[in-house]
Amino acid sequence: MNKSICSLHDQEEEKYICVHPICLKKVDNKLCCIQCYHSNHKNTQLIDHDFKNISELETIASQNYSKLKEHLDHEIQQNIQLRTKIEERLSNTLLSLTTWQNNQKKMFNDITENSTQILIQNIRKADTLMKSQSIDTYIYFYKLNLLENQNQMQAIRDQSMRQLEYQLNQIEIKRDILINQINFIQSEHFLSFAQMNYQIELGNLNNYQIEKCKKHQCQKEVLCIHPNCLQKNPIQLQCLQCITQDSKEHQSEDYIKSIVIVMEGQSQKKELNEELQKNFKYDIKKSVDINLLKINEAQQNYYQNYEKQKENLVLLEQQQLSQFLNPDFPKDFFDHLDQKPFTITKEQINLHYQLLHQDYQNKFQGIFSNQVNDELQFLTELDFNSKKFHQNIINQQKELELCQLKFEELQRTIQSHAFNNKIEQQFSTLNNSISSFHQKLEDNFTNLQSKHNKIQKNNKIQFKI
C-alpha cells in the first residue's frame, strides 16, 4: 500500500488502525497516525481495544489468507479423492452394469465438480481481494474465523459422506436389483459448500447504530418487553426518559430492559435452541441409522415392503432436518428486529422440541403401519396437522399469558377501588376464560396422545427409537 501523511499532524505517517469491533466499519476503513489514534481513544480504555499497525495487519491477514487457501485446496483434493474412490468402488462392484455405472459416475462427477467449482471460485475471489491490497481486505482476512468456516464445511461433508456410504453399501448388497435402487443422495445438498462473501463481520451492537434521542440528548438503548408494547411495528429502542413516559404503567413490573440485558437473554435462548436442535438432529440420525440396519437384516424376506419403508424413512429424515435450513434465531441480533425473539420463552423452546420429537415418533411409527396405503400422503397430512397443532398450542399459551396479565391488572384495580358489580362481572368472565384455556390445552394434549397410541397399536413390527 502507498504511504500517506496525516493532514492534521505534519510528518506523521498514517499506518495505524484499531480493529476492535466498535472502531470498525463494514467498508472504507481508514488508517490514521499515532496522534489521531490516541485522540480518538482518549475517552476509552486502550487496553480494551486492539491497536495494530499496517505491517502487523498485513502479516496476520496474509497468514489467514494462506491458511484459508490451503484449507480450500485441501477440500478440493478431498473432492478429487472422493471422486476417485467412488469410481473405483463402482467399477469393482458393478462391472456388469455398464450403462447404469456410467450414469452413476456422471452424477457423482457433476456433484463433486459443482462443489469444486464453488471452492475454486472462493479461491479466485480470495486471490483477487489480496491482490487489491486494500485495508478492508486485510481486516477481513485478519478477522476471518477459520475454525467456524472449517467446521461448517466438515458438517456438510460428514452429512454428504453419510448419505454416500449408505448408498454404496446398498449397491454392494443388492447388485441384482440395482436398476430399481432408490437414490438416497440429495444432489442439491451433497458437498454444496457456500460461496464466501468476503465481507468484514462485526459485533451485534456495532451492526446496529444506536441513535441519540434528540429530545433528551442521550442514547436510545432501552425497550419495553410488555406484550402490548411488543405489538408495535417496528419495535424501536428509546432513551430511558422517553420510555419512562411512554410505558409508565409497565415500569413497576420490570418490563423496561436495557438492550444489553435483552441481548444476553436472547443469546441464552439462542444457545438453548442450538443445543436442543443439535440433540434433535443427533437423535434423528441415530434412530435412522439403527433402523436402516434392521431393515437390511430383514430385507431378504420382506424386500418390496421394506424398500418402500426405507424410502419413506429417508424422506422423513430429510423433512425433519429441512426445518433447520432457516435458523430460528438470526446470527446477528439486529438482523431481524421483530417480535419472535421477545415473545418466545425458554419453556416454549423446550416444548417446541418435545413436540418435534413426538411428531417424529408419530411419523416414524406410521411408516411401519400396514394400514397406511399411501405413506407419502400420510406423512404430508400428519406433518401439516402436527404443525397446525404446535402453532395452536403456542398461540393459546400466548393468549393465556395476555389473559393472565389482564387478570392481574383487574386484581390491582379491585384492590384500589370500591368493589362494584361491573368489575366483579369482568373479573368472573376473565377467570372463566383462563379456566377455559387450561381445559383446551389439556384436551389438545389428550387428543395428540390418543392419535399416537392408535398408531402404535396398529404396528405389527416394533422398532426401537
- Domain contains 100: yes
Cα within 13 Å of Cα(75), Cβ side: 32
- Domain contains 214: no
- Domain contains 445: no
In percent, the amount of the chain with pLDDT more than 70 equals: 71
The structural domain count of the chain equals 1
Q: Give CA–CA dist 130/119, Å, rounded.
A: 17
Q: Which residue has the cell 447504530?
A: 209
Q: What is the pTM assigned to this prediction?
A: 0.46
- Domain contains 411: no
- Domain contains 91: yes
Q: Does the pLDDT of residue 262 top 60, yes or no?
A: yes
pLDDT in tens, 319-355: 888 777 766 666 655 555 556 666 778 888 888 888 8
Q: Does the pLDDT of residue 16 top 60, yes or no?
A: yes
253 pLDDT band (50/70/90 cuts)?
A: low
Burial of 421 (0-12, 13-18, 19+ CB in 10 A): exposed
- Domain contains 173: yes
Cβ(316)–Cβ(209) below 8 Å = no
- Domain contains 2: no
pLDDT in tens, 94-115: 677 677 778 878 888 898 999 9
162: cell is 453419510
Looking at residue 337, what is its pLDDT?
56
- Give the domain extent around 75: 54-202
Looking at residue 462, what is its pLDDT?
45
pLDDT in tens, 394-412: 777 777 777 777 777 776 6
- Domain contains 188: yes
Q: Is the model more confident about 413 or about 73?
A: 73
Q: Does the pLDDT of residue 121 top 80, yes or no?
A: yes
Q: Are strands 16-18 and 256-258 parallel, antiparallel or unpaired?
A: unpaired
